[in-house]
Amino acid sequence: MSSKDWIEKDYYAALGVEKSASSDEIKKSYRKLARESHPDHNPDDPKAEERFKTVSEAYAVLGDEKKRREYDEMRSLFGSGAFRRNARGGGQPGGAPFDVSDLFGGAAGGDARFGGGGLGDLFSSIFTGGGTGGATRPRGPARGRDVEAEVALDFSDAVRGVTLPLTLRAPGVCDTCHGSGAKPGTQPVACSVCHGAGVTTRNQGSFSFSEPCRNCQGVGTVVEEKCPECHGSGGVTKTRTLNVRFPAGVADGQRIRLAGRGEPGERGGPAGDLFVHVKVRPDELFGRTGDDLTLTVPITFAEAVLGTDLRVPTLDGTVTLRVPPGTPSGRVLRARGKGVVRKDGRVGDLLVTLDVVVPAKLSDEARVALEAFAEQTPPAAREHLDARVRRFS
């Protein structure tokens, strides 16, 4: 979560507690809300999942005494009159035109005036002392970008789980310089401007602002002799194959995250993540609802009336179900434990829907037998319908 989230989001309201609430009150409220909105208790409910994420994010801050104190200080700074709102949603510190979005520098990248760091660097200076005695940490090489890929799985593989090779063509670590960006036999040297810190500090009134060093782009080192293969970036485009494990019960549309398997960062920076989007091919027999498998089985009129033992397929064998006499069309029979098996041990069921088939044509013998059956069968109970019909007769 970003500094902007801390200012814009009211975590006390998200947990339904007052600002003066004790740690125990915050914990109790969080547990209650998390239990009510947990995805396991609200399957296929995106709103409940979003509520769960919101209360979890709020508790991650308010449940930590240090983070809660910094959160309160930050919101107090913006809510105590230090920044007065204007029509653009910004403020006017000291009467000068000001837009709070300038501090954030948009959704990504930050404001150029703060070296791309935006509000994060501003408050880092406020809370850590900035250039007035606080330690300055090197920013280091930038993290690599995340990579997305899509994989289509067979229905049975998605239910049981499978490991598949995934071939990607994307930036990877340069084999010549091993990600340093420097010519073999040489090494990056410390930046002469920031002396390896990666940031420079300047004072402005009561505040001290730190920004990435423009000479080394915040890395702290400079490549004097660039690698001939990657030209100093530390990465080249290459084809690579990964073995990706898809867990049992993976669903259509699910996204699997592989940490550190995305694009490598420049000059040895940490790699991004790989996100694999799963598409599940439909099965010719089975459907799926959560952890349950579904199957529709046709039965004859006689089987529905007299009852029968019905042998049906599962994904890994067969099972026999008892159809009781007088079963109506559309009735659902349940074969327990024959659905999706999760890695945490949870098992779904096989839900079999019975479909009574009405023959389009009958032989003469069958028609005679059916007419004899009809004469011996009591009429359907539809007196309530007949009474309404008579009102319009």
The CB density around residue 158, as the number of other CB atoms within 10 Å, is: 25
Across all residues in the chain, what is the average pLDDT?
79
Question: How does residue 214 score in pLDDT terms, banded at 50, 70 and 90?
Answer: confident
Whole-angstrom distance, CA of residue 314 vs CA of residue 301 = 24
Residue type, 297: V
Q: How many residues does the chain have?
A: 393
Whole-angstrom distance, CA of residue 8 vs CA of residue 375 = 75
Whole-angstrom distance, CA of residue 254 vs CA of residue 32 = 27
The tokens of 120 are what? 């994060």
What residues contact residue 386 under an 8 Å CB cut-off, 6+ apart? none
Query: What's the per-residue H, E or C state across 347-384?
Result: ECCEEEEEEECCCCCCCHHHHHHHHHHHHHCCCCCCHH
Backbone angles phi, psi at 241, to 5 degrees: -120, 130
Question: For 234-285, what is each residue's pLDDT tens digit?
Answer: 777 778 788 899 988 888 999 999 888 887 776 667 888 889 999 999 999 9
Identify which has the larger pLDDT, 38 or 65.
65
Opening angle at CA 183, ends 178 and 188, nearest 5: 80
Instruction: Report the number of secondary-structure helices (H) and strands (E) in the chain.
Output: 11, 15
Whole-angstrom distance, CA of residue 102 vs CA of residue 106 = 7
Whole-angstrom distance, CA of residue 146 vs CA of residue 259 = 9
Backbone angles phi, psi at 145, to 5 degrees: -80, 155
Among the ranges given (1-10, 75-84, 202-211), the one the predictor scored with the smallest mean pLDDT: 75-84
Residue 135 burial by Cβ neighbours in a 10 Å radius (0-12, 13-18, 19+): exposed
The tokens of 374 are what? 């009809």
Q: What is the pLDDT of residue 311?
A: 94
Spatial strand order of the sheet with 274-280 comes to 147-153, 274-280, 255-258
3-class SS at 80?
coil
Backbone angles phi, psi at 104, to 5 degrees: -80, -25
Q: Strand pairing of 332-335 and 317-323?
A: unpaired
Distances (CA, A) of 330 to 246, 295, 304: 34, 12, 11
Q: What is the pLDDT of residue 84?
A: 40
Whole-angstrom distance, CA of residue 26 vs CA of residue 155 = 43
Element (H, E) at 23: helix 23-37
Q: What is the pLDDT of residue 296?
A: 96
> 364 pLDDT exceeds 80?
yes
Question: How does residue 204 score in pLDDT terms, banded at 50, 70 and 90?
Answer: low
Question: For 49-66, what is each residue's pLDDT tens digit?
Answer: 888 888 888 888 888 888
Q: Do residues 84 and 95 make contact, with C-beta atoms less than 8 angstroms apart? A: no
